[in-house]
Amino acid sequence: MDAVLRTVAQETSDERRAASRPSREEAEAAARVLLEWAGDNPEREGLVETPKRMVKAFEDLFAGYREDPREHLERTFEEVGGYNDIVLLRDIDFYSFCEHHVLPFKGKAHIAYYPSNKVIGLSKLARVVEIYARRLQTQENLTAEIIGAIDTYLAPRGIAVMLEAEHQCMAMRGIQKAGVSTITNQFTGIFKEDPAEQARFMTLIRTTS
């Protein structure tokens, strides 16, 4: 429930921020200031168009702020032939940006759920990961947002989400330890209540063909 409330509250906050969004010209001016602060000359040939490119890159990298997961999760299907066992998507590639240093973290998401009386298109689950990942994030919050959105709009009997990622804010700066994986997971319903279901989920995402 906490994850659902955080998701709804963030969507409301996103709407308020969109109304006061700086102009493209203001964003490009800010990019020039950062280039100059870093010690380079934003007027030299190689950098003169860089502020425009930076702003365009930000549009792509943070496109999740302009998308609503509800649009992808509200369409469900009830004709499942009586199927009521686990539905699992594993190895969903994603990349996001640490909200503390605006450096990337990249990894894989694994999502499973037990349907109640409806299912959702498999690509929609991957889309939810993509929408929330393309925002400034912590991995913990990203995990909670994904599971909260699925629970809100699909209401299955249980959900399991695991994210595995490497954070460049740890590899490129600070302690500078590359190759370290951070794992976060969260469970609801059947998965939260039954450790055997958690074990089944872990076994399935580790099974190789």
| 78: confidence class by pLDDT, cuts 50, 70, 90 | confident
- Phi first, then psi, for residue 171 (nearest 5°) are -85, -35
| 11: confidence class by pLDDT, cuts 50, 70, 90 | low
Q: Which of 156-160, 178-182, 188-192 has the lowest mean pLDDT?
A: 178-182
Mean pLDDT, residues 122-135 taken together: 96
Mean pLDDT, residues 20-26 taken together: 92
Domain architecture of the chain: domains with CATH: 11-61 (1.10.286.10), 63-206 (3.30.1130.10)
DSSP codes of every residue in 42-106: TTSTTTTTHHHHHHHHHHHHTGGGG--THHHHS-EE---TT--S-EEEEEEEEEEEETTT--EEE
pLDDT of residue 172: 82
Active site amino acids = 98-101, 139, 167, 169
Dmax (CA) for the chain in angstroms is: 65
| 198: confidence class by pLDDT, cuts 50, 70, 90 | very high
User: Which residues are annotated binding-site positions for Zn(2+)?
Assistant: 98, 101, 169
| 17: confidence class by pLDDT, cuts 50, 70, 90 | low
CA dist 124 to 33, 41, 51, 68, Å?
39, 44, 34, 12
Q: Which residues of 46-82 are buried (b: 16+ CB within 10 A; e: fewer)?
A: ebeebbeebbeeeeebeebeebebeebbeeeeeeeee
Mean pLDDT, residues 36-51 taken together: 96
- Phi first, then psi, for residue 111 (nearest 5°) are -130, 135
- The pTM of the full predicted model, rounded to 2 decimals, is 0.85
Mean pLDDT, residues 125-137 taken together: 96
pLDDT of residue 43: 96
